[in-house]
């Protein structure tokens, strides 16, 4: 998250510095060169531009009349502003949260996880069914399948497929999200294990796929069996939730194993030592190095092992013989008792606790933040001693959500301090900063209407809206301050400044808003990211412009009116304190 903010701030800072340098150096020269005096009688334009100017002048007169009415009712307008701020807080809380948009990166992945005793042939059959489905899809180009390897682990029961879509111009409208849904539906009838088609993570390295990644921890050390039972209960609750989809254990399933219980007393009575039994099993099942021998001028090793056909079944193992102390042969069956059991193939720890890995996705139309909140609610229903922890991209999302309020507050604080240093006053910055909620309300409303979440790129757009909203307010407040210093009345200064700066505010805001329209309408690669930035900025600029031109004059009159009354009261108090001293003298 920090890297994204750094990229944004560096690009913005450099561009603003260049813009300021050109505005202070090149722009005055261009004005002197391009702006020529107009002879009397030739000022009035004709045609479309003349009609536009006359229409704009009439609109400006009506706007001025409206501002006069609002300024005279500053108290009521401030109450309306408080209502807008309250609605903003409420709407922001209703905004679904997310980390980054789920982009179409041109490919998706499919994980195959069969039971622990599945052979490579069984795994290959399932993979081939998926490849047949992929070959029949018009939007899919190639598919690469890897047997014996998966995100959960390695083994003959695991496989992983990478499916690449065709180029954007050849897809005929197909998207990776649609292909994932189609593949998931096609493989849902497979009775062999679990087949999950997944989108890649938004940031490479933060997890294996999109969606959320969570770790179920056994913090009370209740054992593998209790952890497995808690995992099964959590998966059952997740399957019943309407906010979640495709929640699955991200690990190899438990497998059957054989424990050979050696009767040491009976073995000792038969003259068979424990080490002899161990060596016989090791040599027959896992091979044993004997020695080296020369062969055609080369030294080769002598390794013994039971033939494959003689070690495939448990009965084959029990038929092995061990030489006892008297030189006789004793079958293993006499001293060994086999015990079948189910044991985990993986032992995972996270933050020092025994852990089960789980992954999943939000249901269609549900944000990742709401899905994560639902998982936390379901985990609270587990027995005591079990808890969940987020990891990968989900952990970053949690951290970004907690830092967002501080980020917004810090941005507004910096703007306020800069303005306070510039004007050497608190009243001017306050009257400027009051415009910020008017811009943010439009940004939040725009993403709510479009169904977008509150992700990192939306937060970047909100920071941009804060600066642009303050810029519009400064255009009015600066002129009003100058007129006030020239001796004009407070209301007169505000109304005249609003009328004089209406056209530049509308023109600059309109130019910027139209500039982000392509981001709102983007299609193809990185479209989701462009929508996240463009939608919030566009909505914020619209509200910051339409509302600010009416509210900023009121803010100026309201705040400076309070300051002037406070200054007058202080002057009166000082004069009252000075009068007894004069009388005494």
Task: Reply yes or no on whether the pLDDT at 558 is more than 60.
Answer: yes
Distance CA 209, CA 204 (A): 9
Mean pLDDT of 290-308: 90
Q: Please tell me whether residues 281 and 214 are part of one structural domain.
A: no
Residue 538 within a domain: yes
> 341, 362, 382 — which closes off a domain?
341
User: Predicted confidence band at 42 (pLDDT cuts at 50, 70, 90)?
Assistant: low
User: Predicted confidence band at 369 (pLDDT cuts at 50, 70, 90)?
Assistant: confident
Q: Please tell me whether residues 286 and 372 are part of one structural domain.
A: no
Copy the structure tokens of residue 137. Answer: 């899809």
Read off the pLDDT of residues 30-41 as tens digits, 9 standing for 90 and up.
888 888 776 665
Q: Please tell me whether residues 260 and 248 are part of one structural domain.
A: no
Q: Please tell me whether residues 79 and 190 are part of one structural domain.
A: no
Residue 583 within a domain: no
Task: Reply yes or no on whether the pLDDT at 379 is more than 60.
Answer: yes
Mean pLDDT of 85-114: 87
Query: Measuring CA to CA, which residue among 292, 276, 284, 374 is closest to residue 330?
Result: 276
Largest separation between any pair of C-alpha atoms in the chain = 132
Task: Reply yes or no on whether the pLDDT at 194 is more than 90.
Answer: no
Asked if residues 187 and 130 have their Cβ atoms less than 8 Å apart, the reply is yes
Residue 45 within a domain: no
- Angle (deg, nearest 10), helices 2-34 and 456-485: 40
User: Predicted confidence band at 163 (pLDDT cuts at 50, 70, 90)?
Assistant: very high
Number of domains comprising the chain: 4
Q: Which residues contact 279 (CB under 8 A, 6 or more apart)?
A: 288
Q: Please tell me whether residues 537 and 475 are part of one structural domain.
A: yes
Task: Reply yes or no on whether the pLDDT at 233 is more than 90.
Answer: yes
Mean pLDDT of 507-525: 88
Range with the poorest average pLDDT among 284-298, 400-414, 534-548: 400-414
Q: Would residue 296 be called left, alpha or beta, if left means φ above 0 and alpha means ψ between -120 and 50 degrees?
A: left
Length of the chain: 585
- Angle (deg, nearest 10), helices 436-450 and 456-485: 150
Percentage of the chain beyond pLDDT 70 is 97
Distance CA 130, CA 132 (A): 5
Query: Measuring CA to CA, which residue among 547, 541, 550 is closest to residue 498?
Result: 550
Instruction: Return the CATH number at 353.
Output: 3.30.70.1440
Mean pLDDT of 366-386: 90
Read off the pLDDT of residues 209-222 as tens digits, 9 standing for 90 and up.
788 889 999 999 99
Range of the domain at 143: 106-198
Task: Reply yes or no on whether the pLDDT at 191 is more than 80.
Answer: no
Range with the poorest average pLDDT among 50-59, 122-131, 136-145, 396-405: 396-405
Q: Please tell me whether residues 263 and 316 are part of one structural domain.
A: yes
Q: Please tell me whether residues 379 and 434 are part of one structural domain.
A: no
Location of structure tokens 């981001």: 519
Copy the structure tokens of residue 382. Answer: 């587990």
Distance CA 495, CA 208 (A): 59
CA dihedral 390, 396, 397, 398 (to 10 degrees): 60
Element (H, E) at 190: none
Residue 18 within a domain: no
Element (H, E) at 295: strand 288-295
Mean pLDDT of 362-386: 89
Read off the pLDDT of residues 243-292 as tens digits, 9 standing for 90 and up.
998 888 887 788 788 888 999 899 888 899 888 898 888 888 888 889 99
Q: Please tell me whether residues 379 and 428 are part of one structural domain.
A: no
Percentage of the chain beyond pLDDT 90 is 21
User: Predicted confidence band at 543 (pLDDT cuts at 50, 70, 90)?
Assistant: very high
Residue 28 within a domain: no
Asked if residues 505 and 472 have their Cβ atoms less than 8 Å apart, the reply is yes
Average pLDDT of the chain?
A: 86
Residue 17 within a domain: no
List phi, psi (to 5°) of 346. Answer: -135, 140
Return the number of other C-beta atoms located less than 10 Å from residue 324's C-beta: 16
Distance CA 533, CA 537 (A): 6
Distance CA 112, CA 253 (A): 12
Q: Please tell me whether residues 177 and 242 are part of one structural domain.
A: no
Instruction: Return the CATH number at 289.
Output: 3.30.2090.10
- pLDDT value for 235: 92
Read off the pLDDT of residues 436-467 as tens digits, 9 standing for 90 and up.
999 999 999 999 998 888 888 888 888 888 88
């Amino acid at each position: 998250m920090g890297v994204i903010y750094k990229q944004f701030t560096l690009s913005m800072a450099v561009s603003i510095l260049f813009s300021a340098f050109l505005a202070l150096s090149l722009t005055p020269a261009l004005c002197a060169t391009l702006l020529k005096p107009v002879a009397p009688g030739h000022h009035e334009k004709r045609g479309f531009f003349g009609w536009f100017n006359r229409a704009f002048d009439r609109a400006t007169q009506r706007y001025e009349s409206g501002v006069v009415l609002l300024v005279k009712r500053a108290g009521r307008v401030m109450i309306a502003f408080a209502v807008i701020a309250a609605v903003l807080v409420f709407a922001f809380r209703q905004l679904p949260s997310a980390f980054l948009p789920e982009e179409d990166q041109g490919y998706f992945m499919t994980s195959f996880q069969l039971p622990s005793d599945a052979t490579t042939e069984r795994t290959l059959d399932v993979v081939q069914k998926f490849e047949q489905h992929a070959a029949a899809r018009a939007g899919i180009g190639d598919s690469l399948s890897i047997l014996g390897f998966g995100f959960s682990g390695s083994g003959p029961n695991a496989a992983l497929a990478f499916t690449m879509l065709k180029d954007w111009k050849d897809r005929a409208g197909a998207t990776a999200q649609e292909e994932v849904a189609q593949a998931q539906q096609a493989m849902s009838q497979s009775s062999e294990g679990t087949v999950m088609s997944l989108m890649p993570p938004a940031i490479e390295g933060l997890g294996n796929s999109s969606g959320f990644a969570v770790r179920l921890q056994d913090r009370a050390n209740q054992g593998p069996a209790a952890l497995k039972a808690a995992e099964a209960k959590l998966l059952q609750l997740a399957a019943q939730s309407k906010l979640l989809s495709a929640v699955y254990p991200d690990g190899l399933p438990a497998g059957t194993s054989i424990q050979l219980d050696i009767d040491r007393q009976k073995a000792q009575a038969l003259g068979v030592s424990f080490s002899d039994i161990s060596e016989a099993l090791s040599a027959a099942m896992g091979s044993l190095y004997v020695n080296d021998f020369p062969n055609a001028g080369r030294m080769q090793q002598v390794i013994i092992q039971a033939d494959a056909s003689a070690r495939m079944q448990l009965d084959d193992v029990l038929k092995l013989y061990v030489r006892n102390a008297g030189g006789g042969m004793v079958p293993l069956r006499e001293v060994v008792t086999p015990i079948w059991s189910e044991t985990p193939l993986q032992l995972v720890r996270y933050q020092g606790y025994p852990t089960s890995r789980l992954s999943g996705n939000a249901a269609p139309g549900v944000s990742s933040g709401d899905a994560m909140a639902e998982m936390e609610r379901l985990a609270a229903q587990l027995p005591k001693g079990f808890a969940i922890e987020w990891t990968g991209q989900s952990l970053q999302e949690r951290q970004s959500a907690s830092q967002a309020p501080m980020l917004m507050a810090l941005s507004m604080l910096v703007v306020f301090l800069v303005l306070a240093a510039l004007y050497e006053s608190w009243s001017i910055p306050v009257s400027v900063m009051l415009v910020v909620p008017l811009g943010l309300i439009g940004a939040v409303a725009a993403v709510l209407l479009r169904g977008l979440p509150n992700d990192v790129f939306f937060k970047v757009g909100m920071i941009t809206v804060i600066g642009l909203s303050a810029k519009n307010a400064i255009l009015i407040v600066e002129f009003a301050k100058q007129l006030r210093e020239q001796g004009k009345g407070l209301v007169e200064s505000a109304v005249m400044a609003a009328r004089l700066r209406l056209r530049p505010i509308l023109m600059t805001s309109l130019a910027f808003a139209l500039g982000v329209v392509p981001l709102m309408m983007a299609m193809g690669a990185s479209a989701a990211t462009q929508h996240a930035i463009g939608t919030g900025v566009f909505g914020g600029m619209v509200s910051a412009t339409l509302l600010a031109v009416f509210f900023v004059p009121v803010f100026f009159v309201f705040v400076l009116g309070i300051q002037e009354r406070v200054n007058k009261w202080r002057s009166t108090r000082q004069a009252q304190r000075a009068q007894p001293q004069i009388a005494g003298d």
